[in-house]
Amino acid sequence: MGAIQAQILDELGYDPDDGRPQLHELRPVAVGEVVAARDGARAVAVARLGSGRLVVVADVCPHDGGRISDGYVEGERLVCTRHGWELEPCEGRCVRARRG
């Protein structure tokens, strides 16, 4: 990593070339789709749930830090593929879904 790149990373708090678009740059998200994005420095997952509701959550699984954007949508839930937890979006984060 060069000195300029290190300075940018230090000032922004993230790598602007990491492939995550900012929220305002995101194309429309289809029902059942989840994509990686960025809200400023914050890595987020953007998903369109089965009902059509659009959610934006921190891209960190509450189980063990997996990337929620690597998972998939199942109805009104997100599924983290790392260990298979079913998650419910709640106030910008995900919580483990209750069974039943």
| Site residues for ligand FES per CB under 6 A | 61, 63-66, 80, 82-85
Radius of gyration of the CA atoms of the chain, in A: 15
Q: Considering the complex, what minimum distance in angstroms separates the CB of residue 60 from ligand FES?
A: 9
9 vs 43 by CB, closer to ligand FES: 43
Residue 43, token pair as written in the block:
């890595």
For residue 17, give Cα distances in angstroms to 4, 20, 43, 80, 94. 13, 8, 13, 25, 26
Q: Considering the complex, what minimum distance in angstroms separates the CB of residue 1 from ligand FES?
A: 28
Q: Considering the complex, what minimum distance in angstroms separates the CB of residue 80 from ligand FES?
A: 3
